[in-house]
Amino acid sequence: MGKLYRSAQGKMVDMDQLRLSNEDVIAVGNMRVNARGDELGPGGEVSKNRNEIMNDYYKLNSPTIQASYPNPVPAESAIHPPAPEPARTPVRGSLAQQILKTSTTTTKSLEDPEGIE
């Protein structure tokens, strides 16, 4: 005997016994199943029981582990090769002087149109 529940009208109801007694009743809706979850065919006969339905579902949707891989797993260095070093070009004397000239020249401001500080 399962757990007893009290209804709104004060009656005691055993839900487990109620479920077991109504397993073969056709469920309400358009899925063509009974209360247990069996697939029903024409005339309300069970065409596929709940366990067969679940086994088919798990065959299609469960991940499978293969015993051997078709290709060996690549090493970590093959997946992420080291980044190449950027090429460094030597700075020539005239280029360095041009850079210094452009960074040290003064710009004209609105207050001082001549550019003299």
> pLDDT digit string (tens) for 80-94?
767 777 777 665 666
Answer yes or no: is pLDDT of 46 > 90.
yes
Do 50 and 37 contact (CB within 8 A), yes or no? yes
Q: Is the pLDDT of residue 99 over 80?
A: no
Positions of E strands within the chain: 4-6, 12-14, 39-40, 46-48
- What is the arithmetic mean of pLDDT over 18-29? 90
The answer, yes or no, to whether residue 24 has pLDDT greater than 80, is yes
Spatial distance between the Cα atoms of 16 and 1, rounded to a whole number of angstroms: 8
3-state SS, 16-32, equals HHHHHHCCCCECCCCCC
pLDDT of residue 95: 65
Q: What is the pLDDT of residues 51-77, one digit of tens each?
A: 999 999 998 887 766 666 566 666 666
Angle (CA) 9 10 12, round 5°: 120
